[in-house]
Amino acid sequence: MTSLQHEIRQNRPFASLEQEVFLNLVRTTGILEAPLRSLLHGEGLRPSHYNILRILRGQDGGCLSCSAIGERMVTRVPDVTRLVEKLAAKGLVERRRCPEDGRKVLVSLTGAGAAVLGRLEEPVNRLHASSLAHMSEKELLLLVSLLTKARLGGGAE
């Protein structure tokens, strides 16, 4: 019985090696993401909110449309506009109409949003480091390479 089979108390073998790999990825993502969710919860955020704030911080004071934010998200979400509305209600982002196209809404990071990111930066970095501290640099580089290959290998989006 493989480790995942044991963890989820599955008695039968997986239907395929690909299924076992896929389920391992899902299980691992959930386990690694749980402490991040807990940390972000203290600021009233979810990982998708945090991702949007980081994307906007990368604009160095500039702004992006919701569709441009959606293209840059680590995890694809169906309704970036709704997430942006929640962040705007908290005062973490600012929305304004595009001068050239009044139908387009541009989003930028506020000082309050930058402050939240500042408070979270070190704890998130420590969390990332401690979550994978048991792996060597060589193993981490191999994992990055394999995950990139799996992600870009032509799966359905």
What angle (nearest 5°) sits at the alpha carbon of residue 10, between those of residues 8 and 16? 105
SS (H, E, C) 32-96: HHHHHHHHHHCCCCCHHHHHHHHHHHCCCCCCEEHHHHHHHCCCCCCCHHHHHHHHHHCCCEEEE
Tens of pLDDT, residues 100-111: 877 788 999 999
Indicate whether 93 belongs to any domain: yes
The CATH number given to whatever domain includes residue 82 is 1.10.10.10
What is the total count of domains within the chain? 1
Indicate whether 108 belongs to any domain: yes
What is the pLDDT confidence band of residue 63, given thresholds at 50, 70 and 90? Answer: very high
pTM: 0.87
Q: What percent of the chain has pLDDT above 70?
A: 96
For 125, the domain range is 46-130
What is the pLDDT confidence band of residue 153, given thresholds at 50, 70 and 90? Answer: confident
Indicate whether 135 belongs to any domain: no
Tens of pLDDT, residues 1-53: 568 888 888 889 899 999 999 999 999 999 999 999 999 999 999 999 999 99
Indicate whether 143 belongs to any domain: no
Indicate whether 107 belongs to any domain: yes
What angle (nearest 5°) sits at the alpha carbon of residue 118, between those of residues 127 and 67? 90
Per DSSP, the three-state class of 118 is helix
Tens of pLDDT, residues 69-111: 999 999 888 899 999 999 999 999 999 987 887 778 899 999 9
